[in-house]
Amino acid sequence: MTSRRTFLKSLLVASTLPALSWADAGSPAYLAAARRPDGAFWLYGLSETGSEIFSLPLPTRGHAAAAHPRRPEAVAFARRPGTFAIVLDCVSGQVKRRLDAPEGRHYYGHGCFSSDGRLLFTPENLYAEGAGRIGVWDASNGYARLGDFDSGGIGPHDIQRLPGSEVKVIANGGIRTHPDTGRIKLNIDTMQPNLTYVDEDGSILETVELAPELHQNSIRHLAIHDDGLVAFAMQWEGDPTRNPPLLGLHRRGAAPRLLEAGMEQPRMRGYAGSVAFSGDGRFAGITSPRGSMVHFFRVADGGLAEALAQADVCGLAAHALGFVTTDGTGGCRVIVPGGKVTDEGRAEVAWDNHLVRLNV
């Protein structure tokens, strides 16, 4: 049995140990899930140019990850409709915790932390009712489940925190699904996507909807600029002969701006897989793995700056020079819109949907 003196001594030793930071994990710039040639799934920490810093095994296909803002810890989410996420120590490689979705729910592959890293927020589907919920986990106490709140819509796919605040923006895709039918979409005719802004206590501050004729344009992924401007990527579920805009910009209190690509729009095939701002915030970009295309738009006037082809491209994130892209063939590029495109090599993996920038 541990004596009181031994216990107090262990507490003193623990309090004098330096806290680990992301520098102890090699200071990665990005997190990305991938499939190796043997079919195994891994989470990678990558440098600014896409080179491997660390890799950790995943039990199944990953989608995106949430990086803790202070300690070298990542929460890797299974691909929708996954029912678990794993908390990974990115220094030791150990699985610290498995977060199973409460009974009757599944995750959507995304999550975000509070600014101090104490809380984790997870978009969830309460599938019997078709209701969107946001789960709340206490990351300071072993990721104990604290509760949840209304996402403000159906199908909350992504969630991000506005810089300098605890306000969250939620991409409610509007699509109802059920695990018994896999990824089949059950309400295409009546779907109603929106952006919902919530306060730190989960109360709804603002809801933004698209025009009625665009109610089948599912709002799926988010990027946030340092000044609070939100970029949202959409996936069209309506008439395939139409080619609506797939990128929107929104600032709280204003109407959304939808950015169109003109003659290049059909090449996206109605699908935007990822969205990001450039490092300087002057451009917003979206990728289409279905169309093997990347579109970059000027934020100032909403005009298309450049359209580039890249096979099976989906991962997209900010880079000091512009953007970084990753694709399903293992490719990685650094792109300056309207300027230089640098191929950073080809890894022996198939990069999955998202490239998550670490802002730590």
In the Cβ-directed half-sphere of 126, how many Cα atoms lie within 13 Å? Answer: 12
CA-based angle 218:167:210, to the nearest 5?
25
List domains and CATH numbers for the chain: 19-357 (2.130.10.10)
Q: Which two tokens stand for residue 313?
A: 């491209």
Retrieve residue 236's tokens. Answer: 């069209």
What residues are paired with 30 via a beta bridge? 46, 357
262: phi > 0 → left, psi -120 to 50 → alpha, else beta; which? Answer: left
Contact status, residue 196 vs residue 169, Cβ threshold 8 Å: yes
pTM value is: 0.93
- Distance between CA atoms of 203 and 26, rounded to whole angstroms? 38
Q: What are phi and psi of 108, to 5 degrees?
A: -115, 5
Structural tokens at position 277: 């701002």
Q: What is the full per-residue pLDDT of the chain (360 aa) written as tens digits?
A: 444 455 445 444 444 556 899 999 999 999 999 999 999 999 999 999 999 999 999 999 999 999 999 999 999 998 878 888 999 999 999 999 999 999 999 999 999 999 999 999 999 999 889 899 999 999 999 999 999 999 999 999 999 999 999 999 999 999 998 877 777 888 999 999 999 999 999 999 999 999 999 999 999 999 999 999 999 999 999 999 999 999 999 999 999 999 999 999 999 999 999 999 999 999 999 999 999 999 999 999 999 999 999 999 999 999 999 999 999 999 999 999 999 999 999 999 999 999 999 986
